[in-house]
Structure 1
Amino acid sequence: MVIVIAALLFTAVRLFQGRLSVLKCLLLSTVLGSTLIYFSFQSPIITVIWLPAFLVGVFMVFPFKIACLTNITFWLIITYLNFIHLHIEIALRSAMSSGLIMLLTAVIVKTYNEAIHAAESVATKDPLTGALNRRTLIENIELESERVTRYGQTCSIIMIDLDNFKTLNDKLGHGVGDEMLVNFVKLISQYTRKNDKLFRLGGDEFMLLIPGMDAQTAQTFIARIQNLVPAQLTVEHVALGMSFGVCEITADTAVEQLLELADQALYQNKAQRKKKQKDS
């Protein structure tokens, strides 16, 4: 009994600290489940009393899939033992009530998790394109800057601006413009890695965060995408272009300075492209 109460108190404390790791899930479920199985032999009625609390507690602190697997496993084992050691009516009522509690708790937790995920998505992502929004940009750059400073890793940021976007909006309407923004984000996602992050700063301005890539490599990488944009993002003879500015994150450099350097590189690239177009 002391073990069960201690484990439940631990579970209550963990409610305020977030989900458990997989290893701790295994250890806690083994201790609690084994204790309940032990009581199924020594005093089955105690198992009937504590089983619902065990099922709910597991859903509260375990990752959802692990909680489902753990609860179903121990519910089946303990229900089987209850039918052996208890009167069939008591065992049946225990199985039905604890099973219903397990099902309802699973539905509530799943709905809650989905609501939290949706809220986080709204808070961090641009609703039109699905790219990360400006609110998360500083946090991510600071995180990568800390890794560069502490571990000597490399990381580059790329400021991106779409050329001819205003012309496309004025000529074909904002609906087509929005569609082109979505297609641009899809194009970027085809050529970037899972750890690369694209942010929409507003309008037709984006920023790409590329961990593990120095400025020279990032320059070569984004130049290839720059050549693809006009070919793949053209509507009724209006072709989008793309200007970019690359800045490598260096140790102990302020985020504001990094953004300013990337912005300066962007306007240099834009000026060079305009000059090249005039000369041609």
Structure 2
Amino acid sequence: MRLIGEPGFVLHARAWRETSLLVEVLTEGHGRIGLLARGVQGGKRHPLRAALQPLQAIRFDAVSRGELARLVAAEASDAGLRLTGDAALAAFYVNELTLQLAPRQVPQPELFDAYARVRHRLGSSDPLAWSLRRYERDLLDALGVGFEWHCDGDGQPIDPAARYRLDPEHGPRRQVVDRGHSDRQGTATGEALLALAADRPPQREGLASLRRPLREVLAHHLGPRRLRSWTLFEELGRVLRRSNGESQAGSRSTGA
């Protein structure tokens, strides 16, 4: 199969042998594709290198041979994003999550559109935590394992005053949680789930409550694989707590 002018987003690139790269690209019409870019590494900077950076939107030509396709040509579709700090860490998380969960060579137009949206938001002033929760929702929905976010797993309307645990196979389950109990951290507020369903920002407490339940759902679908970004964020959090005496988060905290 030959691909001509195929739009895609670069998720990951790593060195292969001395002069080549293995590049993972998310496309609309063919899902996640592995590309072998020959001869782009070495002492002299190759013009293709700039177009093969993670998060970059590209158009490319390739010849598919089995699991990997041979990259023939590629060019950047836009100026790309220059992210730093928390936004760069959030982008690393988005790319790694997509790389691990998006199947190879299965068309994913909804996921492609969701990735385009979160990529735009990462470069804007939108709160990072809310951008990530929306992408996690959209990713699960695109892969066919999402929930009806406005009702629980039994079909009952979500109560905005209640709290819910997210069962990966069943959906939201209403919980009776003591306000001082630690398990409260593993439940999302009903208000936050309804906000997620309506695609509107929840209250601050509600937004924070979505992080752990959604991570547990994603971990279920990842299986034994653990994201390096999660480990990185946990280590960074421990460093910040030791440095500041308590966990502090800026207005653009990743929330991953």
TM-score normalised by length of structure 2: 0.22
- Whichever structure has more helix as a proportion of its residues is 1
TM-score normalised by length of structure 1: 0.21
